Amino acid sequence: MPRSSLLVCAAAILRATYSLAAQGTDSIVELRVDASHPGPTIDRNIFGQFAEHLGNGVYDGIWVGKDSTIPNVRGIRSDVVEALRALHVPNVRWPGGCFADEYHWRDGIGPAGVRKTTVNADWGGVLEPNSFGTDEYMDFISQIGSEAYISVNVGSGTPAEAAAWMAYMTADPATSAGKERAANGHPAPYRVKYLGIGNESWGCGGAMTPDYYVSQLKIYARFARNYNPMQSGDQAMRRIAVGADGSKTDYVEAVMRAWHDKVWSWDIEGVSLHSYTSAGWPPAHPSTHFGDSEYTAFLKDALNMEGLIAQHSRLMDQYDPQKKIPLVVDEWGAWLAPLPGSNPGFLVQQNSLRDAILAALNLDIFARHADRVRMANIAQMINVLQAMIMTDRERMVLTPTYYVFRMYAPFQDAALIPVQVDAGGRRSGALPRVDAIAARDTHGKLWLAAVNLDPERPVRIRASFAGTSVRIARGQVLTAGHVDSVNTFDSPRLVQPVPIEGAASAGALVLDLPAKSVSVLQVQP
């Protein structure tokens, strides 16, 4: 960003800060942070991503081909890889989504000339060239330093197909499957850390009853083996069952009952939850040119995630009081109306400051439920729904949501620190004024994230810390002139973080938060 633009942003934040003095003590929100009683670990996997064969999420977003003039490594665009590496992406869910239950993995391996061209019936009815398949996906996650989260085809596939795919990816090079993998350029077994057994089997994945799905789950969990000898103990593959559609509990109940009653002799290691923020269905709210009323409605809907997780956690506790099985929120985010002029099946939407705040609130909720929520995947990574990145041929832009994920990186695998926000942190009948979490990272550093949800008014927080001394806090704040501010290819840096600082006063940290903002700071003694 040019220095002049940074100065404009900083001046706007300072004006908001100085206006606090005229607003009286009702603009002060008290936080109590108990650093003496660290809680559960905030699993880094809650910052997972999702890349489905949908619109330009994979093609043009990740894959441009080896002959492209866009800089790439083996067909995977280099600018996207560099941006994602900065997020420390823990896992990438692929190939879907609804697409997964129509995906046949053999269509996407081998030389380009032998790969099948199929139709993507789920998303826009466009041709699927299968140029990006298993080996390209594994190359991609290796380049960004991530782990594989594979969704196998339960809807239109077979257990034999899933088992053969796992053998292709993980079997010894001396086996026939391993030799085929080696012939395609990768002799060593791949590492498959997470295996999703179906996707939305209650809907696009086959409209199965819970009991029928459990009957399939038992078969797939048994025969879709991971043969990689390096994946044992803590590194063993985790199998994730289809779970909740929003507030519906029937799948979670059936899966957890079967797990508890040991109706199979093997195991699962996760149950999914899918829940989008749309403020009504089908999604009809615009992603641009909206006002404070739509902002408020959307964030109120986003905050429902807290109740959903609590609801499903209580049900899971009945069968798993020791919380061995994580709740995996592997589809979440803002689902808005497609941008005018785009293919409706491509789910193209803009990404605003409002959406960044929505992302921060969800990450805060996942962190507060770290004892049960140990994995999540925002939908989706590039060019689709609430994306981190948007591309247009050779151009790339980072969205406000991208910056939230980058700002929150210190919370990966950090120990949750309890935070209480006083009653002044809520506005009657509307949104909370402030949401906050704290954590101590793996290096012992203390971090505070604070969201000012008020679209118009800055707020001063005064945070007292038990169990540690506080001298100063430094970090970044993300805000902009309007709730619907977005980054575009012509103005790619309109919404990006700028420095923020707070200092101790009378034994507490005092920090001024601009309206509609997300702040993440390191708290220093």
Tell me the mean pLDDT in the region 83-90.
98
Residue 146 identity:
S
Backbone angles phi, psi at 167, to 5 degrees: -65, -45
Q: What band does 345 get if pLDDT is binned at 50, 70 and 90?
A: very high
For residues 53 and 120, is the Cβ–Cβ distance under 8 A?
yes
In angstroms, the CA 175 to CA 173 distance is 5
Q: Residue 434's closest CA among 457, 418, 400, 465?
A: 457
% of the chain beyond a pLDDT of 70: 93
Spatial CA neighbour of 504 closest among 472, 476, 475: 472
Alpha-helical runs (H) found in 1-86: 3-18, 78-85
Which DSSP string do the residues of 351-370 spell out, in sequence order? -BHHHHHHHHHHHHHHHHTT
pLDDT at res. 423: 63
H-state helical runs in 262-352: 292-302, 304-319
- How much is the pLDDT for 425? 53
CB atoms under 10 Å from CB of 341, counted, come to 6
pTM of the model: 0.94
Quote the CA–CA distance of 498 and 477 in Å, as a whole number.
6
Catalytically active residues are: 200, 331
Q: What is the pLDDT of residues 477-487, one digit of tens each?
A: 999 999 999 99
> What order do you get walking across the sheet with 28-34 strand by strand?
41-42, 414-417, 434-440, 446-452, 517-524, 472-478, 498-505, 508-513, 459-466, 28-34, 419-421
Closest CA to 131 of 64, 190, 78: 64
Q: Give the position of tokens 């603009």.
A: 27
**CA 518, CA 450: separation in Å to the nearest integer?**
6
Per-residue pLDDT, averaged over 156-178, amounts to 98
Model confidence band, residue 21 (pLDDT cutoffs 50, 70, 90): very low
How far is Cα 10 from Cα 455, in angstroms, rounded to an integer?
A: 18
Q: What is the DSSP letter of 486?
A: B
**Would you say residue 252 has pLDDT above 70?**
yes
